[in-house]
Homo-oligomer: A and B are copies of this chain.
Amino acid sequence: MKLQQLKYLLAIVDNGLNITAAAERLYTSQPGVSKQLKLLEEELGLQLFTRKGKSLGGITPAGQQVIARARVVMQEVDNIRSLASDYFHEEEGTLSIATTHTQARYVLPEVIKEFRSRYPKVSLELHQGTSEQIADMVSANEIDFAIATGSRDLFSDLLLVPSYHWDRKILVPKNHELTRLERKVTLDDLAEYPLVTYVFSFGGQSSLKLAFAEKGLDPDVVFTARDADVIKTYVRMGLGVGIVASMAEDCDDRKDLEAIEAEGLFPRSTTWIGFRRDAVLRRYMLDFIQLFAPHISTEQLECTRHARNQGDIDELFDETALPLRTGCSDDMTAAA
């Protein structure tokens, strides 16, 4: 058995069982790929693919298992290479991050700015998507880091490092009635107004939806959007009261919007950064984690590097002691 045979095998699978396409992707000749597959099947003594005439028809059950193992092998081989370049070219490499809009727009810019200045030679890829899309990217193995909030069960194959908590803010146009309340805003107050918030906040068993439901309230959600910028636009138009992540309040917004802290109204959210269990964490990746979640000590980070399952991580970090991230008002203090 050769590494090349496993590589060819995976290429065939990843190119829709088309050997010709696989060969092109591998910059080699098609008969070569064909032959190596045949050799591999002969050595293992089993068919990895079913044949439709001469073409490959499908994957046999045995093939499925072999392919899964082969992926692990190639993954680890890549890890070895990665390890090696970490020692040799500490400052070079790539870092691909998949995350949601809120993180990409309001949290990561600072982090990435700092990271880029420290590692100018590392090429960064930022992929934005919903939690589900991020999960897909993760399983397609294209991603070094996933950053998201909640939905831990979507990412059971990653190790998740809790990074910070955040609350919601209520956004209203200047001089809105809600800003003139003498007391704290309650859910009942909110339910009086048309609401504008995130799409996913009202799909599934979202915490926002639940918070209202628990009080027996049925709020009037007039508009849902995928990101806070759109929500703000509609709040400015007077379409309704916005509920957004605290981080989503820009200082610029203060010109025409007012933000009301919704601390305590809704359950607190936890944003985490996750990576594949068996990935090699290069120096610059560890530094990225620390930039993103500065409360993590260097020792914790070192332990994280060798953690093998989520339990190890959970022991390491006290969920309740995470920093709280807010928007414009006190970004600086939160970062300190």
Task: Give me the interface of A with B, judged by CB distance under 8 Å.
Answer: 1-3, 44-46, 62, 65-66, 69-70, 72-73, 76-77, 79-81, 83-85, 87-88, 278, 280, 309-311
The chain B residue with its CB closest to the CB of A309 is B309
A281 to chain B, nearest CB (A): 11
> Are A62 and B76 in contact, CB atoms less than 8 angstroms apart?
no
Known A87-B62, A311-B311; contact A44-B81, beta-carbon cutoff 8 A = yes
Return the contact of A80 from the options B70, B85, B88 (Cβ within 8 A): B70
The CA-CA distance from A87 to B41 in the complex, in Å, is 12
Instruction: For the A-B complex with A44-B84, A309-B309 known, give 4 more contacts whose Cβ atoms are closer than 8 Å.
Output: A1-B80, A66-B83, A69-B79, A69-B280
Return the contact of A65 from the options B2, B69, B83, B309 (Cβ within 8 A): B83
> Are A85 and B45 in contact, CB atoms less than 8 angstroms apart?
yes
A279 to chain B, nearest CB (A): 11
A280 to chain B, nearest CB (A): 8
> Are A73 and B70 in contact, CB atoms less than 8 angstroms apart?
no
The chain B residue with its CB closest to the CB of A70 is B80
Known A1-B3, A69-B76, A73-B76; contact A62-B46, beta-carbon cutoff 8 A = no
Interfacial chain B residues near A83, Cβ < 8 Å: 62, 65-66, 69
The chain B residue with its CB closest to the CB of A86 is B62
A113 to chain B, nearest CB (A): 31
